[in-house]
Amino acid sequence: MKNKFNMIVSLWCALIVVFATGCSSVEQEEKQKKQEKLATPQMQNGFWDEQRKGTNFMNSTSLPENYEEANEFNIEFIRLAPDKWAKERDFLFEDKPDATPNKDFLIGNADQYEGIVENDFKMLKEDLDAAYARGSKVVLAVLSLPGNRWRQFNNYENDDRIWQDFNYHEQAALFWKDLAVRLKDHPAVVGYNVINEPHPETATGFNDFWTEDYDKWYNKIENTPADLNRLYGTIVDSIRSVDADTPIILDSGLFATPWAINYLKPIEDINVLYAFHMYEPYEMTSQNRKKGFTYTYPGKVKVGNDQDEKMFNKTSLKDFIEPVAKWAEKHNIPNNRIIAEEFGINRMVDGADQYMKDLIDIFNDYGWHWAFYAFREDTWDAMDFELGNKPVKEAYWDARAIGELPDRKAIEVDNSIWEVLKKDLNK
């Protein structure tokens, strides 16, 4: 009898252990499946499953010939911002009788979205068709959303309405849904970048990002209109209701700075990528000829509110970018779902070539995609790296004065900055 009792007790104990282990195994299996889902390449056409190297087209008009030129340098994708094509419209003087009512490209008017502007979409479609004809892949980025007009088209003032009213979230989501319906099958499009450099921080009193506590700030604004995660969730759901596959690219906050990625909540969608911009230290990269070039790279730079200068070299650049790597590791985001979407420096800064090389080396070490800023910018020569590290020649300005594109053969020079880019693009 005693043996029988012991046998029963042993059996029950075994069952309990199996049950407990089984539950634990199920949990582990579910966790593993989730990780595998994120890590397994399943993206549309597999385009982003291997590292891609690209550039930005931020021109004031559609320039299809630039796609062909970019291909000659093995540039694999173009981040296109067509909003700038509307620069000739009247943005600053609302009381002018001849002001253009539909002044915001594609969305018509950032004050109230009422449907895609057909003439604008026609221009965009023709440009994307030209890209496809020339073998280029395009990430479509927008600079403005309803309630969030691009600062440079808003009298250089931030338009923070989208961070104050959920109604603009819904309008933005409807706009992207309308656009996705039209573009989901376009063979050139490999990504929707839903908004360039979002900055809800500026609308909510987050003024000193060098010292303020991101967690403390985010806890205050979570689930309010200033919550970037809420906006992204609404837009992604809207796009996915009509387009299940086209990759969606989400910028980090605070103008896409690397450390602002900390409060982003990943979306469980293998076709979502996360992006940041790198122009740090901004005090050095944004120097211009009129004010003089105070800083060189590598070298000491005064940043933020610190009174002391900090040494900037490859190690410190990596420190600036490290929050992205830590965030990706924390959330099991594969390296091929991260994009260094914009990076650059005024080409005339001493050491600009080394700055670009160091950043590219860091991005390559992580296996992240990258896109330098910019390729043959038609309104700003400071980051047109083909022009070398000297002021442009007279032929450049002569062409601009009569509204023509400069003859590249007349102005190009051999230079170390462009050689850095060419060398890595050719790998």
What token pair was written down for 2?
A: 């005693």
Identify the bridge partners of residue 223 per DSSP, sorted by sequence position: none
Q: What is the pTM of this model?
A: 0.87
Centre a 10 Å sphere on the Cβ of residue 345 and count the other Cβ atoms it contains.
27
How far is C-alpha 412 from the geometric centre of its chain's CA atoms? 29
Whole-number pLDDT of residue 73: 95
Q: Which of 362, 345, 357, 342 is nearest to 293 (CA)?
A: 345
Q: Which of 405, 412, 410, 402 is nearest to 377 (CA)?
A: 405
Give the span between the Cα atoms of 155 and 93, in whole angstroms.
9
Whole-number pLDDT of residue 82: 96
**Rg of the chain in Å (alpha carbons):** 25
Whole-number pLDDT of residue 229: 98
Q: In this structure, which amino acid lies at residue 237?
A: D
- Domains (range + CATH), the chain: 48-281+313-425 (3.20.20.80)
Give the span between the Cα atoms of 384 and 387, in whole angstroms.
6
Whole-number pLDDT of residue 194: 98
Whole-number pLDDT of residue 145: 98
Q: In this structure, which amino acid lies at residue 233?
A: G
Whole-number pLDDT of residue 339: 98
Whole-number pLDDT of residue 68: 94
Identify the bridge partners of residue 273 per DSSP, sorted by sequence position: 249
Q: What is the DSSP letter of 104?
A: B
Whole-number pLDDT of residue 380: 86
Residues with Cβ within 8 Å of 289's Cβ and at least 6 positions away in sequence, in order, are 348, 391
Alpha helix ranges (H) inside 86-117: none
In Å, the largest CA–CA distance within the chain is 107
Whole-number pLDDT of residue 420: 96
Whole-number pLDDT of residue 302: 87
Q: What would the DSSP string read from start to end of 396-420?
A: HHHHHHTT----HHHH----HHHHH
Decide if 153 contacts 86 (C-beta within 8 A): yes
Length in residues, the chain: 427
Does the N-terminal peptide bond of residue 374 adopt cis geometry, omega within 30 degrees of 0?
A: yes
Chunked into runs of 10 residues, the chain (427 residues) has average pLDDT values of: 44 41 47 43 75 96 94 97 81 45 86 96 98 97 97 92 98 98 97 97 81 84 98 98 98 95 96 97 92 94 78 96 97 98 97 98 98 91 91 82 75 83 94
